[in-house]
């Protein structure tokens, strides 16, 4: 079974990834358990219970991701300050745990958007310091697998959450009740996180001389010079590095921005997943079965995450991201032209393989482009890609509502192919670390 394959992939990854990464992966598993008890039910909740439409669903995803993006930029800056990573990660997860169940009391679609935005504030706070911490404790040659292991655990939690939502609906629970019960695995995630981070005094933070996280005399240009400084020696091991002398640094901001902006373009042209769930419902998939299909999607994602990370460590992020773009275009294009339940569902499951190819690849690339100011690097990456989410959500939501699913999904597939071609032009080649 695919769920067995997902668990086997995580078991294999546990042999090579650091202990801290395993702990953070367990936290993500429980947190996504809680999150995915809610998310697959939102399209039906918004459209059938609260009377919203496709544009509202697009705004739901877009506004949430935009808010998270803005917070990620700030959080990335703070994550490089000594002692800040641990409290940022804790605060981010706690915010989501407390706010997510409140969606169950929403009386209007706008309230769902509001609660979802606050939920994503937590994600914006925790993601850059968590990803920077994973890069800090993992040798460069293993980072693809470390991020793949973490993402695999995250998606495995989504499987459990989706199955739990389906079970509760099948036994007669109302959608609002299922959403409210998501507080239980969320609290468990926070308890595990407190144990995992108990021995870390906030993480390493910045690596500049004196351990300061401020901008320094070099201003904005100096920051980008530090963040994009050559990786040689800066991330050669997972141990804390000695302080560096205050020497002039080369200014090379173009090394960071072109590939990150290309990733933002790939994000912009991806149709929101809430619209894909709506497509399933319109094809004839019953609301009570949507969590099962969503669980199956995450079985694919979890199964593909660690192999995808292994592939990144072998051929590098450039080609792996490009393969993910091609697979996205194939799957989403098929969802647009297929009309049968079997065809649309099969294409939706194929879409699950995209995460396995892109998530660990993108994070590995960012860690290599920003080996010194890793927190700020991840903050910039998550912020810029997230900023594309709201206009994309509104664009594809409006296109879906006015012209139909086939037009919106086909347009997304074609645009992602074009963005993938641009990615191959501007992304750095030769970024693969030697395998040890």
Helix or strand run (H / E) with residue 32: helix 19-35
Buried b (16+ CB within 10 A) or exposed e, 135-153: bbbbbbebbbbbbbbbbbb
Helix or strand run (H / E) with residue 355: helix 353-369
Under 8 Å between Cβ of 434 and 141: yes
Under 8 Å between Cβ of 361 and 144: yes
pLDDT digits (tens, 9 = 90+) for 185-237: 999 999 999 999 986 654 454 443 333 333 333 333 343 343 334 333 333 33
Under 8 Å between Cβ of 318 and 427: yes
Is residue 157 pLDDT above 80, yes or no? yes
Coil vs helix vs strand at 240: coil
Looking at the chain, the number of H-run helices and the number of E-run strands are: 19, 0
Given this model, what pLDDT does residue 4 score? Answer: 54
Given this model, what pLDDT does residue 15 score? Answer: 63
CA angle 324, 297, 179 (to 5 degrees): 125
The model's pTM is 0.73
Buried b (16+ CB within 10 A) or exposed e, 195-218: ebbeebebbbbbbbeeeebeeeee
The candidate with the shortest Cα–Cα distance to 147, out of 397, 337, 325, 378, is: 378
Nearest-angstrom CA–CA distance, 100 and 37: 10
Is residue 173 pLDDT above 60, yes or no? yes
What does the DSSP 8-state code read for residue 433? P
Pair of tokens at residue 325? 């773009």
């Amino acid at each position: 079974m695919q769920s067995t394959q997902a668990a086997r992939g995580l078991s294999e990854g546990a042999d090579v990834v650091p202990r801290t990464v395993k702990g953070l992966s367990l936290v993500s598993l429980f947190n996504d358990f809680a999150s995915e008890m809610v998310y697959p039910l939102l399209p039906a909740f918004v459209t059938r219970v609260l009377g919203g439409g496709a544009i509202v669903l697009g705004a739901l995803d877009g506004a949430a991701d935009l808010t998270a993006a803005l917070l990620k930029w700030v959080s990335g800056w703070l994550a490089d300050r000594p002692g800040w990573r641990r409290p940022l990660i804790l605060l981010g997860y706690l915010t989501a745990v407390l706010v997510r169940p409140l969606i169950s009391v929403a009386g209007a679609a706008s309230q769902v958007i509001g609660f979802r935005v606050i939920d994503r504030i937590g994600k914006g706070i925790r993601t850059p310091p968590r990803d920077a911490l994973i890069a800090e404790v993992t040798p460069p040659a293993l980072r693809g697998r470390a991020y793949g292991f973490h993402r695999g655990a995250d998606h495995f939690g989504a499987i459990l959450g989706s199955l739990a939502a389906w079970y509760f609906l099948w036994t007669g629970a109302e959608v609002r009740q299922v959403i409210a019960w998501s507080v239980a695995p969320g609290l468990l995630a926070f308890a595990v996180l407190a144990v995992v981070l108990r021995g870390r005094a906030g993480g390493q933070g910045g690596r500049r001389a004196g351990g300061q996280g401020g901008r320094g005399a070099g201003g904005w240009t100096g920051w980008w010079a530090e963040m994009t400084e050559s990786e040689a020696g800066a991330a050669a091991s997972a141990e804390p590095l000695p302080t560096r002398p205050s020497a002039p640094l080369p200014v090379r901001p173009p090394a960071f921005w072109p590939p990150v902006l290309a990733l933002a373009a790939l994000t912009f042209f991806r149709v929101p997943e809430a619209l894909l769930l709506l497509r399933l419902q319109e094809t004839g998939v019953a609301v009570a079965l949507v969590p099962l299909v969503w669980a199956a999607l995450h079985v694919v994602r979890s199964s593909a995450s660690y192999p995808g990370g292994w592939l990144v460590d072998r051929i590098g992020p450039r080609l792996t991201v490009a393969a993910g773009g091609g697979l996205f275009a194939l799957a989403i294009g098929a969802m647009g032209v297929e009309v049968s339940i079997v065809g649309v569902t099969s294409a939706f499951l194929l879409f699950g393989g995209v995460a396995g190819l892109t998530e660990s690849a993108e994070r590995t690339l960012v860690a290599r482009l920003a080996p010194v100011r890793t927190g700020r690097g991840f903050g910039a990456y998550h912020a810029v890609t997230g900023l594309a989410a709201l206009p994309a959500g509104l664009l594809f939501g409006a296109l879906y509502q006015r012209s139909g699913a086939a037009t919106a999904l086909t347009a997304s597939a074609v645009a992602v192919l074009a963005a993938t071609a641009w990615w191959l032009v501007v992304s750095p080649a030769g970024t693969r670390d030697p395998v040890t």
